[in-house]
Amino acid sequence: MHNTINDKMFLNSLLMLMSATISTIVCVPIDDNAQLFQAIANSVNTNNTEKFYEHRTEVCYQDLGCFYLEGPMKQTNMLPSSLEKINTQFFIYYRSGQVEEQIVDPYNSSTFKKINRSKQLVIIVHGFNNDHKVGYLVRMKDAILKYLKSKIGAVIMVDWSGGSAIPFYRKASCNTQVVGRQITFLVDRLKHFIGLDPLSVHLIGFSLGAQASGFAGKHARKVYGWTYGRITGLDAAAPMFEGYEGSYLTFADARFVDAIHTSAGKHMLKGEVGFIGQYGHEDFYPNGGLDQPMCTGTADIACNHKASVLYFAVSIEQPKKCPFSAYPCSDWVTYKNNTCLNPDARMGYYSIDGKGSGDHFLSMTTKSDKICYT
């Protein structure tokens, strides 16, 4: 009887292992957003997809410091992946449409030579199951270099795809700590070698990339004693972050922090994975933070999430036709009742020029403004 029970336990364990392996290799295609959000939900609600037996309480990396099991990402019950696994790389671009890829290496100052310290530097950080070549982020990068070239000298695309791969969302969340510190280590090297002013650096993070940017800001203040000029959170990831103080991007992480919320809900399987609460100096909730107009009728459940990037790109491409004027208001219902008057902020790149602060709402349903959603 005892052997029979052990045999059954072994068989069940084997089947679970086979199931997990098959789902990783076969059942989670990279371009299937339904599987992507299922992976997030599974990762948040259970550890079954990410069995991880951590006997260490900390891990330390050269020039980055130590990460603790009881640190700011303790809710993951994990330590970050190795630097080799995350494989963070910094790709730099100096002009719109640039095809050839150049890498900035924090340990090779000769790769800093073309960076113009008299202009602003933008650093873009991707999210879960992305890399630096994802189309909507490339569009934003090209818009910045085309329309803002008088003030911005270069854009760095951070690629940490080795540490953000599906289906391991919980692990990817934990890895944002490492990526944030790596970004700040690079910027501090630029500060030291070419005299770059960190106040001229603008981090733009999408989804998990927003949380990595938050860790970059925290590390800069705590370890190096300087502050980033601006951090933009584009639908910052909520799962494994919202509700866990010290783990997410806040207004304290840069001189100016702006946020765009486009999938701010609680139904992960419907693609609602964006941060709900206010965390920036200015937080923008187009259409109340849900149900963006270009996503009506689409089969892409990631559409609302990605809309934050689209809006930011369009705010640069079409600043006059799409000013994205926003109203200070307590909530979406109050805004819809036409009781919130006098817009005092602009969603997107030019939000830094506004006079407002706090939560802002704007309607995105006007058909004549279709150019603003494509």
CA end-to-end span of the chain, whole Å?
66
Q: How many helices (H) and strands (E) does the chain have?
A: 8, 13
- Of 305, 308, 315, 359, which one is the catalytic site residue? 305
Whose structure tokens read 């989804």?
Answer: 207
Residue in 188, 235, 283, 291 annotated catalytic? 235
Strand duo 65-68 + 89-93: pairing: unpaired
Q: Which residue has the tokens 């150049």?
A: 102
Q: Where are the alpha helices (DSSP H) in the chain?
A: 2-25, 33-45, 83-86, 135-147, 169-194, 208-219, 303-317, 332-336
Catalytic-residue membership of 31: no
Inter-residue contact 274 to 286 (CB < 8 Å): no
> Is there a catalytic annotation at residue 219?
no
Q: Is 253 a catalytic residue?
A: no
Q: What distance in Å separates the CA atoms of residue 282 and residue 278, rounded to the nearest whole number?
A: 8
- Concatenated DSSP letters for 22-33? HHHHTS--TT-H
Of the candidates 130, 173, 194, 120, the one whose C-alpha atom is nearest the C-alpha of residue 150 is 120
Catalytic position from the list 207, 263, 308, 351: 207
Using CA atoms, how far apart are residues 288 and 308, in angstroms rounded to an integer?
A: 13
362 strand-pairing partners: 286
Task: Work out the number of other CB atoms within 10 angstroms of the CB of residue 371.
Answer: 11
Catalytic residues: 207, 235, 305
